[in-house]
Amino acid sequence: MDRVKESINRVIDGLTDKITAISRYLLENPETAYQEYKACEYLSRVLEKHDFEVEQGVGGVETAFFARPKDRGPGRTTVALLAEYDALPKIGHGCGHNLIAAASLGAAIGLQSALSDSAGGFVVVGTPAEEGGGGKVRLIEAGVFNGINAAMMFHPSQQNIPGKDMLGRIKFKMEFHGRTSHASNSPDKGINALDALVLAFTNINALRQGLRSDGRIHGIITHGGDAPNIIPDYAAGLFYVRGASIRYRDEIFDKVVRCAQAAAMAVGAKVNIEIDGPKIDPFKHNPALQSAFTKNMELFDIAVDTDNGRRGSSDIGNLSHFLPAIHPFLSILDGGIAGHSTEFRDATDTDKGRATLLAAAKLLAMTAYDFLNSTRLQEQVAMDFRKE
């Protein structure tokens, strides 16, 4: 291992308690999408203590931040270390974003202390609302990532996979409007909006059999009526569709719209479908940057697992079409436990979870250093990015 990487790792080892404390603070103070006020404030303070200049509320997103190292000239090439810190409703950090923020801050603080070069070259971007909110898309649109050459983060997982496919996604609301009436003495006068929604689920279940293995549809009922003796005049659900390509994602969405329209027609209700938040694109891999990360994993004897084929989505998908990005998954627990669960949340603060966190901070810092230090790698990364 080269001397700079050794010194990066020594510095990050010295930050172990601090990095663990960041993860634990977020774990104990979970905040859902766009409500991450405490997290944004806490992470900003930590970065300021380590000589970063932090701007909160960037891109018009209150709980986003942008941190650049103080007292360094601007680097010609700049890497963004991405910090996610939103939690899930009810189960808190069941996706382990507390580890994502802690690892990216650990990497940035490590680079700040270990790199003697006075050029900047690395920033931390606090990207809220990954879970269903598409925070990164709003930041891209607001120009927050302009001038950045590459972005990186890690995501906790059951496996070590530096380059896993992620699906495109559309989140949308489905609302049915009918007419209320007494459910016993005049059911003939009502139009049951809940029945239309239930039929829409049934239609979707029939559609699901004909989907490819990368197609996903899942939803919940958010409003199913007000009292059992009133025919519901309003029923609503929240749904996701996903597909491995933009085209397939959109094709499934169109079919689901037809399922809803057919359900409305059967009952005589009206349907309204509204897309909620930005559409999420599938992840575009950057093999050159990914392989730099994988080589660093090898230095730590972390073996790449055989991909179990399980797929989610992330708003880094959209970012990966805007600039070269990596989103490696690193294991914090043995397989068998699902993501988005309390077990996964609790695994973020076990011996293995903390060890992975520290390794992730080092791997991100080492890979950022590789990129900043090699024009050849920068060229390869740019070339990979230009490919379709």
Compute the distance between CA of residue 195 and CA of residue 37 in angstroms, rounded to an integer.
40
Compute the distance between CA of residue 39 and CA of residue 176 in angstroms, rounded to an integer.
37
Bridge partners of 32, per DSSP, are 87
Structure-token match 């007292």, residue found: 71
Question: Measured from the CB of residue 131, what is the shortest distance to Zn ion in angstroms?
Answer: 5
Question: Measured from the CB of residue 329, what is the shortest distance to Zn ion in angstroms?
Answer: 10
Nearest to Zn ion of 157, 192 (CB atom): 157
- Kindly determine how many residues on this chain lie close enough to bind Zn ion according to the rule CB under 5 A: 1
Compute the distance between CA of residue 291 and CA of residue 326 in angstroms, rounded to an integer.
10
Nearest to Zn ion of 95, 197 (CB atom): 95
Q: How many residues does the chain have?
A: 388
Which residue number places its CB atom closest to Zn ion?
Answer: 95
Nearest to Zn ion of 95, 319 (CB atom): 95
Q: Is 167 in the site for Zn ion (CB under 5 A)?
A: no
Question: Measured from the CB of residue 171, what is the shortest distance to Zn ion in angstroms?
Answer: 13
The DSSP H or E segment spanning 55 is strand 52-56
Nearest to Zn ion of 125, 200 (CB atom): 125
Question: Measured from the CB of residue 234, what is the shortest distance to Zn ion in angstroms?
Answer: 30
Question: Is the distance from CB of 154 to CB of 100 less than 8 angstroms?
Answer: yes
Nearest to Zn ion of 101, 193 (CB atom): 101
- Residue 8: exposed, middle, or buried by beta-carbon count in 10 A (0-12, 13-18, 19+)? buried
Site string for Zn ion, 292-331 (x = CB under 5 A): ----------------------------------------
CA-based nearest residue to 20, from 367, 343, 361? 361
The DSSP H or E segment spanning 168 is strand 168-177
Nearest to Zn ion of 95, 102 (CB atom): 95
Question: Measured from the CB of residue 130, what is the shortest distance to Zn ion in angstroms?
Answer: 6
CA-based nearest residue to 126, from 47, 18, 32, 8? 47
Site string for Zn ion, 69-108 (x = CB under 5 A): --------------------------x-------------
* Residues that bind Zn ion in the complex, under the rule CB under 5 A: 95
